[in-house]
Chain A
Amino acid sequence: MKLDLKRILKNYGIVFAFFLVCAVLAWLSPVFLKWTNILNIIRQSSIYGIMAVGMTFVILTGGIDLSVGSILAFAGAVAAGLLKASAPLPLVIVVAIGIGALLGLVNGLVITIGRITPFVTTLGMMSIARSLTLIYCNGYPISGFGEEFRYIGGGDLFGIPLPIVVFLLTVVLAWVILAQTRLGRYTYAIGGNEETVRLSGIRTKLYKMAVYVVSGITCGFTALILTSRLNSAEPVAGTGYELDVIAAVVIGGTSLSGGRGGVWGTLVGALLIAVINDGMILLGISPYSQQLVKGLIIIGAVLLDRLREEPG
Chain B
Amino acid sequence: MAPVLRMSGISKSFPGVRALDRVDLDLEPSEVHALAGENGAGKSTLMKILSGVYRADEGEIWLRGRKVTASGPRAMIEAGVSVIYQELNLVPFLSVAENIFLGREPRRAGGLIDWRKMRAEVAALLEPFGLSLDPRAKVHTIGPAYQQVVEIAKALSLRSDILVMDEPTAALTGHEVDRLFELIRNLRKKGVSVIYISHRLQEIKQLADRVTVLRDGRRIVTAPVEAISIDEIIRNMVGRTLTEQYPKTPMPRRGEVLRAEGLTKRGVCQGVSLSVERGEILGLAGLVGAGRTEIVELIYGARRKDAGRIFVGGKEVKIRSTRDAVRQGIALIPEERKKQGLVLGLSVLDNIALTILDLHSWLGFIKRRVVGALVRKMSTEVGVKTPSLRQLVRNLSGGNQQKVVLSKWFVRNCDVYIFDEPTRGIDVGAKVEIYRLMQNLAAQGAGIIMVSSELIEVMNMSDRIAVVCNGRIVHEFQRGEAKDEEVMSWALGLKEQAS
Chain A contact residues, CB within 8 Å of chain B: 6, 180-183, 185-186, 188-189, 192-193, 195-203, 259-260
- B217 interface residue, CB < 8 Å from A? no
Are A260 and B323 closer than 8 Å at their CB atoms?
no
- B365 interface residue, CB < 8 Å from A? yes
**What are 9 A-to-B residue pairs whose CB atoms are below 8 Å?**
A182-B361, A189-B346, A189-B354, A197-B343, A198-B322, A200-B326, A201-B355, A203-B321, A260-B345
User: How many angstroms from the CA of A185 to the CA of B353 in the assembled complex?
Assistant: 10
- B357 interface residue, CB < 8 Å from A? yes
Task: Render B215-253 as a binary contact track against A, CB cut-off 8 A, 1 for contact.
Answer: 000000000000000000000000000000000000000
Are A196 and B341 closer than 8 Å at their CB atoms?
yes
Are B344 and A182 closer than 8 Å at their CB atoms?
no
User: How many angstroms from the CA of A200 to the CA of B359 in the assembled complex?
Assistant: 13
Among B300, B325, B353, B364, which residue has its beta carbon within 8 angstroms of that of A181? B364
Query: How many residues of chain B are within 8 Å of chain A by beta carbon?
Result: 31
Are B346 and A192 closer than 8 Å at their CB atoms?
yes
Given A185-B366, A199-B334, does the pair A259, B345 have CB atoms closer than 8 Å? yes
Closest chain B CB from A232 CB (angstroms): 38
Given A199-B334, A201-B355, A203-B323, does the pair A193, B368 have CB atoms closer than 8 Å? no
Among B321, B342, B365, which residue has its beta carbon within 8 angstroms of that of A180? B365
- B358 interface residue, CB < 8 Å from A? yes
Are A198 and B302 closer than 8 Å at their CB atoms?
yes
Are B327 and A182 closer than 8 Å at their CB atoms?
no
- B408 interface residue, CB < 8 Å from A? yes
User: How many angstroms from the CA of A260 to the CA of B392 in the assembled complex?
Assistant: 12
- Chain A residue nearest to B325 in the complex (CB): A201
Closest chain B CB from A243 CB (angstroms): 26
- B132 interface residue, CB < 8 Å from A? no
- Chain B residue nearest to A203 in the complex (CB): B323
Residues of A within 8 A of B339 (CB): 193, 195-196
Given A182-B358, A189-B354, A193-B342, does the pair A199, B366 have CB atoms closer than 8 Å? no
User: How many angstroms from the CA of A88 to the CA of B182 in the assembled complex?
Assistant: 83
Closest chain A CB from B355 CB (angstroms): 5
- B340 interface residue, CB < 8 Å from A? yes
Are B302 and A181 closer than 8 Å at their CB atoms?
no
Among B302, B350, B365, which residue has its beta carbon within 8 angstroms of that of A199? B302
Total inter-chain residue pairs, C-beta < 8 Å = 77
Residues of B within 8 A of A198 (CB): 302, 322
- Residues of B384-405 at the interface with A, using a CB-CB cut-off of 8 Å, are 390
Among A182, A193, A259, which residue has its beta carbon within 8 angstroms of that of B357? A182
Are A185 and B325 closer than 8 Å at their CB atoms?
no
Are B346 and A180 closer than 8 Å at their CB atoms?
no
User: How many angstroms from the CA of A197 to the CA of B408 in the assembled complex?
Assistant: 12
- B332 interface residue, CB < 8 Å from A? yes
Among B321, B326, B343, which residue has its beta carbon within 8 angstroms of that of A196? B343
Are A259 and B343 closer than 8 Å at their CB atoms?
yes
User: How many angstroms from the CA of A196 to the CA of B404 in the assembled complex?
Assistant: 13
Residues of B within 8 A of A199 (CB): 300, 302, 322, 332, 334, 340-341
Given A199-B302, A202-B354, does the pair A180, B345 have CB atoms closer than 8 Å? no
Task: Render B359-375 as a binary contact track against A, CB cut-off 8 A, 1 for contact.
Answer: 00100111010000000
Residues of A within 8 A of B358 (CB): 182, 202
User: How many angstroms from the CA of A200 to the CA of B361 in the assembled complex?
Assistant: 17
Closest chain A CB from B123 CB (angstroms): 40
User: How many angstroms from the CA of A193 to the CA of B340 in the assembled complex?
Assistant: 8
Are A196 and B322 closer than 8 Å at their CB atoms?
no
User: How many angstroms from the CA of A260 to the CA of B361 in the assembled complex?
Assistant: 23
User: How many angstroms from the CA of A180 to the CA of B334 in the assembled complex?
Assistant: 28
Residues of B within 8 A of A181 (CB): 361, 364-366
User: How many angstroms from the CA of A283 to the CA of B364 in the assembled complex?
Assistant: 48
User: How many angstroms from the CA of A182 to the CA of B323 in the assembled complex?
Assistant: 15
User: How many angstroms from the CA of A189 to the CA of B408 in the assembled complex?
Assistant: 14
User: How many angstroms from the CA of A195 to the CA of B339 in the assembled complex?
Assistant: 7
Closest chain B CB from A255 CB (angstroms): 9
Are A182 and B322 closer than 8 Å at their CB atoms?
no
Top 9 nearest A-B pairs (CB, nearest first) are A201-B326, A192-B343, A193-B343, A181-B364, A192-B345, A201-B323, A201-B322, A200-B354, A259-B345
- Chain B residue nearest to A260 in the complex (CB): B345
User: How many angstroms from the CA of A183 to the CA of B345 in the assembled complex?
Assistant: 18
Are B355 and A200 closer than 8 Å at their CB atoms?
yes
Closest chain B CB from A259 CB (angstroms): 5
User: How many angstroms from the CA of A200 to the CA of B350 in the assembled complex?
Assistant: 12
Closest chain A CB from B360 CB (angstroms): 10
Given A185-B350, A185-B357, A199-B334, does the pair A193, B344 have CB atoms closer than 8 Å? yes
User: How many angstroms from the CA of A198 to the CA of B302 in the assembled complex?
Assistant: 8
- Chain B residue nearest to A193 in the complex (CB): B343
User: How many angstroms from the CA of A158 to the CA of B260 in the assembled complex?
Assistant: 66
User: How many angstroms from the CA of A259 to the CA of B351 in the assembled complex?
Assistant: 13
Are A201 and B344 closer than 8 Å at their CB atoms?
no
Are B354 and A197 closer than 8 Å at their CB atoms?
yes
Residues of A within 8 A of B323 (CB): 201-203
- Chain B residue nearest to A206 in the complex (CB): B323
Task: Render B410-421 as a binary contact track against A, CB cut-off 8 A, 1 for contact.
Answer: 000000000000
Residues of A within 8 A of B346 (CB): 188-189, 192, 259
User: How many angstroms from the CA of A181 to the CA of B357 in the assembled complex?
Assistant: 9
Closest chain A CB from B343 CB (angstroms): 4
- Chain A residue nearest to B368 in the complex (CB): A180
- Chain A residue nearest to B336 in the complex (CB): A195
- Chain A residue nearest to B409 in the complex (CB): A200
Additional pairs, 13, CB under 8 Å, beyond known A180-B365, A199-B300 = A181-B365, A185-B354, A185-B357, A189-B354, A192-B343, A193-B343, A196-B340, A196-B342, A198-B322, A200-B322, A200-B326, A202-B323, A202-B358
Task: Render B307-348 as a binary contact track against A, CB cut-off 8 A, 1 for contact.
Answer: 000000000000001110111000010100001111111100
- Chain A residue nearest to B357 in the complex (CB): A182
Among B364, B368, B408, which residue has its beta carbon within 8 angstroms of that of A200? B408
User: How many angstroms from the CA of A180 to the CA of B357 in the assembled complex?
Assistant: 11
Most buried by B among A192, A197, A260: A192
User: How many angstroms from the CA of A202 to the CA of B302 in the assembled complex?
Assistant: 11
Among B354, B364, B368, B408, which residue has its beta carbon within 8 angstroms of that of A183? B364
